[in-house]
Amino acid sequence: MPVLAVPHPLIRHKVGLLREEGSTKKFRELTGEIARLLVYEATADFPLEPATVTGWCGEIPVERIAGRKVTLVPILRAGLGMLDGALDMIPNAKVSVVGVARNHETLQPEPYVDRFVGHLDERTALILDPMLATGGSMIATVDMLKARGCRDIRALVLVAAPEGIAALEKAHPDVRCWTAAIDSHLNADGYILPGLGDAGDRIFGTR
């Protein structure tokens, strides 16, 4: 399953709401809600270990996530719209920031900033970006993470195009991707149809 369209009804419902024209506030809220649900799905295989806590009746056996270090990797700008939702689910996650701009003429990714946390070889990276269109921005980000030793890389997106899925699977078959929806195709300008329009503009209110 390198790319999985998460079948959960809450996600499918919320993506439908996201597609509707509406306020920046509503778009941001839905983006955050879906990000939480995608994190929930993408972390389902995290191993647990037994632990003990002191509770109201004394020592109580519990479970906790076993030594899993996570870095969230929002791709600027639009990935920032998913960051707070993801942090709600993994409050201790470290955040690595990557800036990749898609050239509007060539559709090629142009990385412009990166601030990675340390010890990437010990971490699971959850890349956050609402749109997987040509796949160029995601592939460039995975390239950067791998170059720094990261081995467990997972991508969370709101909408993926078949073209981007094929490109990501070809370039990085080991990277799993959870998406809220797989759409029809890219238009001549590289926008996903039906898609969401320009996700960055909708999150930042710049359209």
Cβ atoms of 34 and 11 closer than 8 Å: yes
Spell out a b/e string for 15-29, using b for 16 or more CB atoms within 10 Å of the CB, else e. beebbeeeeeeebbb
* 135 annotated to a ligand binding site: yes
Question: Rounded to an integer, what is the distance from CA 116 to the centroid of its chain?
Answer: 16
Which chain residues interact with ligand URA by CB under 6 A?
131, 133, 190-192, 195, 198-200
Cβ atoms of 1 and 165 closer than 8 Å: no
| Binding-site member from 70, 85, 129, 165 for ligand PRP (CB under 6 A) | 129
| Binding-site member from 74, 190, 195, 202 for ligand PRP (CB under 6 A) | 190
Q: Which does 192 bind (CB under 5 to 8 A by kind): ligand URA, ligand PRP, none?
A: ligand URA
* Cα 206 from Cα 188, distance rounded (Å): 22
Cβ atoms of 98 and 83 closer than 8 Å: no
Residue nearest ligand PRP, Cβ-based = 200
**156 counts as binding ligand PRP under rule CB under 6 A:** no
Beta-ladder partners of 100: 111
Shortest distance (Å) from residue 131 CB to ligand PRP:
4
**101 counts as binding ligand PRP under rule CB under 6 A:** yes
* 71 annotated to a ligand binding site: no
The residues that touch ligand PRP, with contacts defined as CB under 6 A, are 75, 77-78, 100-102, 107, 109, 129-138, 164, 190, 199-200
